[in-house]
Amino acid sequence: MKQPAIYIMTNKRNGTLYVGVTSHLIKRVWEHKNNVVEGFTQKYRLHQLVYFELHDSMIGAISREKQIKKWRREWKINLIEKLNADWRDLYSDLL
């Protein structure tokens, strides 16, 4: 899926959250799941994609990522649960 997107990764329901932006969602989530890139998601084992939004432009996606990153944790959880109440890993839906 080569389209600008923002996404949220976690390690478990109500666990650590990571908000990211990418131009290729399937590839980027695969990298997180396989610990390809060192950093925050590798350290906290954030392997579950629980939320994503597709955007028409990278500028729009980056703007949305910055907006969500400023949100309180409670707001991020509400965003996830609005569309993914069970905190299901959405990666297989992309394939």
- What CATH number is given to the structural domain containing 51? 3.40.1440.10
How far apart, in whole angstroms, are the C-alpha atoms of residue 74 and residue 95?
A: 29
pLDDT tens sequence across 10-25: 999 999 999 999 999 9
Burial class of residue 64 (count of CB atoms within 10 Å of its CB; 0-12, 13-18, 19+):
middle
Q: In this model, does residue 1 exceed pLDDT 70?
A: no
pLDDT tens sequence across 56-83: 999 999 999 999 999 999 999 999 999 9
Other Cβ atoms within 10 Å of 48 Cβ, number: 20
Q: Which domain holds residue 13?
A: 5-94
Longest dimension (CA), the chain: 31
Check: pTM over 0.85? Answer yes or no. Answer: yes
Amino acid at 26: I
